[in-house]
Structure 1
Amino acid sequence: MRAVHSVLIAAALAAAVPAFAQQTRIEDRLTASEFRDAGLGKLSETELARLNELLERSASPADGPASPDVETRIAQAREEGRREAQGEDRGLRPTVSREPVESTIPGPFTGFARGREYTLANGQVWKQTDSASIAGARGQDVGVRVRPGMLSVWWLQVDGYNTQAKVERVR
């Protein structure tokens, strides 16, 4: 990811300040505080050398505007950033809406049980994670509400009953 950031910083610097093209190294182009504020102090010597190489290549007048290769790398960097922001590249689920859901459970409803999955009419599937139960609960096409709670917890409640079950979304 550092390399992606380096490429983006290089592209922004090369496009923003034409006077930079006359100097060769990024360290010479920026003041110490600009260098530090841009986060470039975190780069290793290898990464810094690569950044300088990219800047020198992009400053060359023979290159003209950004080549398709650079455009492709910028598009890839944007996509990686989007995935990183949503947690996809770390095996996490993408961020989910925190809006309450009102739907029905089509077919028979036989109560709550730990580990049971509830498929809603809107296609969402929720799995019960606690041991809440409703003694003798039975129904057909019952209405349900799934609402967010504190600390990323979700609660499922069935129409006609006050008991709530702690659930997590499966899909």
Structure 2
Amino acid sequence: MSAIAPTAPRRLAIAPLLLALAACLAAPAALAQQKIEQQMSAEQFKNAGLTKLNDQELSNLNAWLNRTLEAETSKAAVKAQESEAHERRGFFDRSPSKEPVVARMSGRFEGFQRGMTFVLDNGQEWRQDDNADLPGVNLDSPQVRIAPSIIGNAWYLSVQGYNTRAKVVRVK
């Protein structure tokens, strides 16, 4: 069975993501202080044709580059937050995302059993939290769908080709 023994829920480590997000938000301020002529060597500056610019044109170019950098960094930060919310699906206390998870189970699947932990190929682990059973099944890496209930905070795992669903709780 592609499951491991029941385990206590583990906390999702988000500290590295928060550090990366903070670095992204701090980047515009750090880079805005450095003008293009300081970022390039004298040869690169000349080869780019920037020596033809007067002081006002060069100032305008630096201002445009800073605005562009700030806008792109903001877009990247928003995208990182959305991606994090998407990957935290199933942790109701941490994410409002209710999109279903579609993945393959890692290894063999031999049915449902209360307390069994199912490992998915995307790294997620879900533990069965009810008494659903599916006897006589023996599949290698089946595709599964884990969808939230319409009402309440429950998630249900179903295996492709079978109608039986098991209530699961995300543990990793």
TM-score (norm. length: structure 2): 0.44
When Rg is computed on C-alpha atoms for both structures, the one with the higher figure is 1
Larger relative helix fraction: 1
RCO comparison, higher one (Cα < 8 Å, 6+): 2
